[in-house]
Structure 1
Amino acid sequence: MKIKLIEYKEVPSFPSGSGIEFYDDKVFLVGDDSREVMVLNKRWKEIERVPLLPGTEARVPKAVKSDLEATTVVTVNRIPRLLILGSGSLDKNRNKAILFNLDSYLKDEFDLTPFYNRIAKAGVKNMNIEAAALVEDHIILGNRGNRKNPVNQLIITRNAFWKHQQQAEITLIDLELPVKDSKGIGISGMAYSLLNDTLIFTASTEQTDNAVDDGSIGDSYMGIIENASRKIGRKSLKVNELINLGEVHELFKGFKIESVCIQSEKSNRMKLHLVADNDTGKSYLFKVRVKW
């Protein structure tokens, strides 16, 4: 896999970018403690901001934030929606799903406690859902590992699982990374290319032994899983390639890459947007070309 950085931008007025999605030539940016969704064009010019959570503070305090970390675009009743998920790392406030209508910008909220409880009983030791992607009619959730529990797990379920949480499919797959890091590499974002049947994911290292506390920032990575739809039923899943982004370009060093989305795709090539933070309350955008 070859990765080329083609653009970079600091977004000082939007805190803690954690999720990024591309739809209808627009970029939708979510922050784990932001009260708004930021809408930009594909050149990153701000179009508007849409309220997502109540309140007036720019950042939701950590003790009460919903920790909105995982995003993907789904279709429900033929309407495109941005699915935004809380990490589940704490029972209070973080077991939340928001369905954000991409036509009207109206939203619905769901309490995911029943579903998250089932995930924990199925074998997820430390809940910290940081990534999501729609693969055909499946939704794949990425549970982030840490130094104490280093295994990243993919949770396979179905679209609209929030409507029938007690019955929705749950299958766990361990993600086998080809690179080891003493700090522990944790998955942070995902995007699926239907054209290439390829799952792209981002990951990063952070010196923390749990799913709640922040730690010093290490390296960020991008990984690729080919033939993704055919691997959904397996017990473990090997990554085809994992690249340290700091070795691609100096600008990636010191950032936690939090999420990825696809702007355009051709056979074995894509243009991607990445969002990052570095625990300062700002967000940072990267645009890359990927070939494999």
Structure 2
Amino acid sequence: MEKFTLEILFQIIGIGSASGLFYNNDALYIIGDNSGFLYEYNMQNQQLSQHALIDNPTQNIPKNLKPDFESLTHHNDTLYVFGSGSTENRNKMIEFDLKSKTVLQKNNLVDLYAVMQNFGSIKPEDFNIEGAIFDGENWYLFNRGNGISNKNTIFTIHAKSLGDEFALVATNYKLPKIKGVRSSFTDAVLVEDKIYFLSTAEDTKSTYDDGEILGSFIGRIDLKTMKIDFTQKITSTNKFEGLTFYKKENNKIEFLLCEDNDTELLETKVFKLSLPIK
């Protein structure tokens, strides 16, 4: 692949362990996997505000209690925030209205996640949803294969609402390795008919415990064939967990990325990644 560029765009104080983001009209919406808030950062005036997603939210929820919000997607004026499903208290999906800036609905996906685990032959201890896409007709949920079985799986759910009857497809992927450690899905976004995804190599065999970070990749999947077009290593040090489309111009496409620093430090760096359009 031709040369890419990766640069730090800015740093936000007040957000820790960033795990997902969505860019819209100079506003950057960010979730952290140890927080009960949705953060809204105005990139023009550099103001940060927060919106409660759960009752009695805090910024640093203990690991054994956190809802583990790992992914978010949007359709029309609604943001959908997903818990990872990696433990029994991480099964929430929150619907948030971008116009009124209020929570519309709180859903428990425990039954859906159980069906996905059974259908995809993924043990509960290897189940870890870290990316989500909704195009209005289909949901794409990305299981991060950082458990023992390395199950990097995209679940395609044909339904307009996750409460409706649905058809389910599971597609497994072998993602590239770093130093013998296979990378695993950490986020994804749909741009036209292509899925762009992040994967990170982390030296751990657990969806719960963190390990040594070995680097991250950007990749692309064709939506029609669900086959990988390319992967490109973009760092040897960062654990990128959030990806959102920024802009497309002059034969290049730009994304904003955030990283999970696996600490209690309340600061988040936002990166800009530029790729040539192929």
TM over 0.5: yes
Q: Does 1:260 align with 2:243?
A: yes
Cα 1:156/1:56, change in 2 over 3 Å: closer
Conserved in 1, the CA contact under 8 Å of 2:80 and 2:94? Answer: yes
> Residue 160 of structure 1: CA displacement?
4.0
The letter of the residue matching 1:14 is I
Deviations 1:215-269 (A, max 9, x none): 12111111112x31x12xxxxx4322111112xxxxxx43210010002225853
Distance, in Å, in 1 between the alignment partners of 2:144 and 2:82 is: 14
Structure number with the higher helix fraction is 1
The letter of the residue matching 2:276 is K
Q: Does 1:280 align with 2:263?
A: yes
Conserved in 2, the CA contact under 8 Å of 1:176 and 1:238? Answer: no
Deviations 1:189-209 (A, max 9, x none): 001111xx2111111011211
Distance, in Å, in 1 between the alignment partners of 2:49 and 2:71 is: 21
> Residue 98 of structure 1: CA displacement?
0.3
Conserved in 2, the CA contact under 8 Å of 1:138 and 1:158? Answer: yes
The letter of the residue matching 2:120 is G
1:21-36 equivalence runs, <5 A = 21-36=22-37
Extract unaligned runs of 5+ from structure 1.
232-236, 247-252
1:118 matched to which residue of 2?
Answer: 115
Q: Does 1:203 align with 2:199?
A: yes
Cα 1:205/1:217, change in 2 over 3 Å: same
2:97 matched to which residue of 1?
Answer: 101
Number of aligned residue pairs: give it.
269
The letter of the residue matching 1:36 is F
Cα 1:159/1:4, change in 2 over 3 Å: farther
The letter of the residue matching 2:17 is S
Distance, in Å, in 1 between the alignment partners of 2:190 and 2:81 is: 16
TM-score by length of 2: 0.89
2:169 matched to which residue of 1?
Answer: 171
TM-score by length of 1: 0.85
Conserved in 2, the CA contact under 8 Å of 1:264 and 1:270? Answer: yes
> Residue 184 of structure 1: CA displacement?
2.1
Conserved in 2, the CA contact under 8 Å of 1:88 and 1:94? Answer: yes
1:126-165 equivalence runs, <5 A = 126-135=126-135, 137-146=137-146, 148-164=148-164
Conserved in 2, the CA contact under 8 Å of 1:263 and 1:273? Answer: yes
Cα 1:29/1:131, change in 2 over 3 Å: same
Deviations 1:6-48 (A, max 9, x none): 4433334201100101123321001111122111234582342
Distance, in Å, in 1 between the alignment partners of 2:190 and 2:6 is: 20
Cα 1:57/1:151, change in 2 over 3 Å: closer
1:250 matched to which residue of 2?
Answer: none
Conserved in 2, the CA contact under 8 Å of 1:74 and 1:159? Answer: no
Cα 1:124/1:100, change in 2 over 3 Å: farther
Higher mean displacement: 282-291 or 6-15: 6-15
Cα 1:48/1:261, change in 2 over 3 Å: same
Runs of 4+ in 1 over 6 A off after TM superposition: none
1:52-71 equivalence runs, <5 A = 52-55=53-56, 57-71=58-72
Distance, in Å, in 2 between the alignment partners of 1:99 and 1:203 is: 26
Conserved in 2, the CA contact under 8 Å of 1:217 and 1:278? Answer: no
> Residue 168 of structure 1: CA displacement?
2.0
Cα 1:51/1:152, change in 2 over 3 Å: same
> Residue 163 of structure 1: CA displacement?
2.0
The CA RMSD over aligned residues, in Å, is 2.0
2:52 matched to which residue of 1?
Answer: 51
Q: Does 1:180 align with 2:177?
A: yes
Conserved in 1, the CA contact under 8 Å of 2:51 and 2:102? Answer: no
SS at match of 2:14: coil
Conserved in 2, the CA contact under 8 Å of 1:147 and 1:207? Answer: no
Distance, in Å, in 1 between the alignment partners of 2:276 and 2:53 is: 35
Distance, in Å, in 1 between the alignment partners of 2:228 and 2:250 is: 19
1:17 matched to which residue of 2?
Answer: 18
Identity rate of aligned residues, in percent? 25
Distance, in Å, in 2 between the alignment partners of 1:199 and 1:176 is: 16
Q: Does 1:214 align with 2:210?
A: yes
Conserved in 1, the CA contact under 8 Å of 2:177 and 2:201? Answer: no
